[in-house]
Amino acid sequence: MSTAALDAIRWTADGLVPVIAQEAGSGRVLMFAWMNREALARTVATGEAVYWSRSRGRLWHKGEESGHVQKVRDLRLDCDADVLLLEVEQVGGIACHTGRHHCFFQALDANGDWTAVEAVLKRPDEIYRS
């Protein structure tokens, strides 16, 4: 990835850019994450999503523990140059660490509470063996 392409992005003060991972074919939003310059460069070089994990304080190759990698099919920068959109093939069909297909599984119900409306496809203890 060229330096000019990296410089075209409007990075946050922390050197990050928000990233939306969208499923190729269905168009469903799978998850939201962050990238720094190195994560984006590695994503482009490997063809698999690499994010910056704020909680871990390090690069995070999506699926490094679970095997549920994201193969990048297309990469887009929005009109303000401050959000990336990754169109991905989600290997294993599970993008969320909760074992669901995507991370947006909670819906606001009629009582004003968040309710899980998507099934767990695989229990996290079956995915992540410590």
| Residue 63 near residue 51 (C-beta atoms within 8 A) | no
Q: Write down the pTM of the prediction.
A: 0.90
Residue spans of the domains in the chain: they are 3-97
Name beta bridge partners: 19: 33, 84
Tens of pLDDT, residue by residue over 3-57, are: 999 999 999 999 999 999 999 999 999 999 999 999 999 999 999 999 999 999 9
Selected from 3.40.710.10, 3.10.20.810, 3.40.50.1580, 3.40.50.10860, the CATH number assigned to the domain covering 3-97 reads 3.10.20.810
The 3-class SS string of 83-102 reads CEEEEEEEHHHCCCCCCCCC
- Residue 109's alpha-carbon distances to 29, 55, 98, 101, 116, in angstroms, are 20, 29, 20, 20, 10
C-alpha to C-alpha distance for 95 and 88, rounded to whole angstroms: 10
Residue 68 reports pLDDT greater than 90: yes
pLDDT at 130: 54
Tens of pLDDT, residue by residue over 72-129, are: 999 999 999 999 999 999 999 999 999 999 999 999 999 999 999 999 999 888 888 6
